[in-house]
Amino acid sequence: MRNPWYPLLTMPITSSAKKAHRASLNKQVFNLRRKRTMKNAVKEVQALTAAGKGKEAQEKLSAAYKAIDKAAKRGVIKENTAARKKSQLTKQIAQATAKK
């Protein structure tokens, strides 16, 4: 079981550590927002491909690419993860359009 005093024991002590902690909390907000945007864009494309709407998914693909690239650029996800996600989306759209 975790020590109930754990948060108080790990608080920053020096002023520079306090400032770094504040900065990390601010960055966390932006990183979570960017990751959420990316996930929503990917889910939207996947939902359209699952429904067999290849044309609409193709139109939404550029927005998903943009969100994925921005997340990779800022270090929210790694470059290879971004490439893999984009490849998988393209493959799903190709399968959805080939069915028709």
**Residue corresponding to tokens 């650029």:** 73
Among positive and negative, which fits the CA dihedral 42, 40, 59, 68? Answer: negative
CA atoms of 67 and 37, how far apart (whole Å): 7
Amino acid at 70: K
HSE toward the beta carbon, residue 52, CA cutoff 13 A: 2
Secondary structure tally for the chain: helices H, strands E: 4, 0
Share of the chain above pLDDT 70, in %: 89
pLDDT in tens, 38-85: 999 999 999 999 998 989 999 999 999 999 999 999 999 999 999 999
What pLDDT score was predicted for residue 59?
Answer: 94
Give CA–CA dist 96/70, Å, rounded. 26
Domain residue ranges in the chain? 53-100
